[in-house]
A and B are shown apart, each in its own frame.
Chain A
Amino acid sequence: EPEVTQTPSHQVTQMGQEVILRCVPISNHLYFYWYRQILGQKVEFLVSFYNNEISEKSEIFDDQFSVERPDGSNFTLKIRSTKLEDSAMYFCASSVNRGPYEQYFGPGTRLTVT
């Protein structure tokens, strides 16, 4: 069964450094998402991406964040200058298209900012 994959599974970085989290959505999916989960807290929506542009973003998704689909398979989340409070589990998800289609989640990348 096709699945969403994410790399790395765990990333440790120093405050102020840039990180790129990578996701490979399911191959025929067109709609992509990033969510984050701060330890012990709920999963929060960050951004959705369709047709090579951001469809919607939350108030969390400020100028420090950016997303990109650099090629036909990868979908990335970049944090330009990490802060301690960016430490969280980041989940990528994809769906076949916009509208009433299931979102499939990846296993997550745990980001630790020291």
Chain B
Amino acid sequence: GNSVTQMEGPVTLSEEAFLTINCTYTATGYPSLFWYVQYPGEGLQLLLKATKADDKGSNKGFEATYRKETTSFHLEKGSVQVSDSAVYFCALKSITGGYQKVTFGTGTKLQVIP
């Protein structure tokens, strides 16, 4: 079955530091890949996505590139802010017989300190 593995947290960084959160996946076919963010006390928000190999998703300074050869979708940001403190989930969406399902990773908590 499909699975998503992401680095364990928590990740603690100083403001303006470079962020990488690793994500690798196992899936049949050609899934779409996503990063979701969950701020404290809130629901899931789509951060960025990529639907095919070599696509780069980007939003709010975050980027991730769909690497089929390494089955990876690592999240990066050049300079984090305190407001980026949240839990980040890597996810893939597969479609079988017209029906879609999203499989999530375990989440990585990011804490940015001033």
Measured CB to CB, the residues of A under 8 A from B are 6, 31, 33, 35, 41-45, 48, 50, 55-56, 91, 93, 95, 98-108
Count of inter-chain pairs, beta carbons less than 8 A: 60
Measured CA separation A48–B51 after assembly (Å): 21
Chain B residues within 8 Å of A93, by CB: 102
Interface size, B (range): 20 to 34
- What residues make up the interface of B, taking CB atoms closer than 8 Å to A? 32, 36, 42-46, 49, 51, 89, 91, 93, 95, 98-107
Q: Is the interface of B mostly helix, strand, loop or mixed?
A: strand
Residues of B within 8 A of A43 (CB): 44, 89, 91, 104, 107
B100:A99 contact, CB within 8 angstroms? yes
Q: How many Å lie between the Cα of A6 and that of B95 in the bound state?
A: 26
Contact A95 B100 (CB under 8 A): yes
Q: Are A99 and B98 in contact (CB under 8 A)?
A: yes
A100-B100, A107-B42 known; A42-B95 Cβ under 8 A: no
Give 19 A-B contacts (CB < 8 Å), ordered by A residue: A41-B106, A42-B104, A43-B91, A43-B104, A55-B99, A93-B102, A95-B100, A98-B95, A98-B100, A99-B98, A100-B51, A100-B95, A101-B100, A103-B100, A105-B36, A105-B44, A107-B42, A107-B43, A108-B43
